[in-house]
């Protein structure tokens, strides 16, 4: 029973780390990367479809993204989706190809992005701590029902705390790498 609680907590904490990783990848670092456009959706035959399913996204010269829709009639829709997004990119269309030049980041923008990254990291830490609270609550419920002893409950809580510490350290490591990436000119 204790092992099940720990495995569940570990898998849920891992999902929190994965969510943080996705959020960090979406944060712009000054270099062009196709994952910047992962959150965009385009109306394609009446349904919202992810941009990467209706267009080829590639990098040109390190600072420019090239979007080539498979269906040429989608060019205006893709352009509109990019302009209405909160990415701050200005697409320029040349026939059937959309170019997205990424402007260099200013010092002020970099500091704002670092704050955003730290906030994302704090959300991940809070999620991990909430999972720890849930797991410890499950252990206390088992103790109340006399299904485990006090020693087993204490040992289980210690293991959950070690897991929590490990995951929080992983979040800190991910944040440090991203902050260094953002502050590199």
d(CA 48, CA 69): 15
d(CA 81, CA 8): 38
pLDDT value, residue 132: 95
d(CA 17, CA 171): 7
pLDDT value, residue 30: 67
Domain ranges of the chain: 2-26+106-183, 34-101
Element of type H or E holding 50: strand 47-50
Residue 61 Cα distances to 64, 103, 130, angstroms: 6, 13, 43
Domain with residues 2-26+106-183, CATH architecture: Orthogonal Bundle (1.10)
- Is residue 132 a contact partner of residue 97, using CB atoms and an 8 Å limit? no
Q: pLDDT by residue for the chain (185 residues), tens digit each? A: 888 999 999 999 999 999 999 888 877 666 777 877 877 888 888 888 888 888 888 888 878 889 898 888 888 888 888 888 777 778 888 888 998 888 777 888 888 888 989 999 999 999 999 999 999 999 999 989 988 888 998 999 999 999 999 999 999 999 999 988 888 76
Residue 4 Cα distances to 9, 88, 135, 179, angstroms: 9, 45, 10, 36
pLDDT value, residue 108: 86
d(CA 133, CA 129): 6
pLDDT value, residue 11: 95
Tokens of 157: 């809580």
Q: Provide the CATH topology of domain 34-101.
A: Gyrase A; domain 2 (3.30.1360)
d(CA 131, CA 10): 9
Tokens of 164: 């929590």
């Amino acid at each position: 029973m204790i092992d099940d609680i720990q495995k569940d907590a570990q898998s849920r904490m891992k999902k929190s780390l994965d969510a943080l990783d996705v959020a960090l990848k979406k944060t712009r670092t000054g270099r062009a990367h196709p994952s910047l456009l992962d959150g965009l959706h385009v109306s394609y035959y009446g349904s919202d479809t992810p941009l990467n399913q209706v267009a080829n996204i590639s990098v040109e010269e390190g600072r420019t993204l090239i979007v080539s829709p498979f269906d040429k009639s989608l060019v205006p829709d893709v352009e509109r989706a990019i302009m209405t997004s909160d990415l701050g990119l200005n697409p320029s269309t040349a026939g059937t190809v959309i170019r997205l030049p990424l402007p260099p980041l200013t010092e002020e923008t970099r500091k704002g992005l670092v704050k955003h990254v730290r906030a994302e990291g704090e959300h991940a830490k809070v999620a991990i701590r909430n999972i720890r609270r849930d797991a410890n609550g499950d252990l206390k419920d088992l103790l109340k029902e006399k299904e485990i002893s006090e020693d087993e409950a204490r040992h289980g809580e210690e293991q959950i705390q070690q897991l929590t510490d490990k995951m929080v350290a992983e979040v800190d490591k991910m944040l440090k790498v991203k902050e260094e990436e953002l502050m590199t000119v």
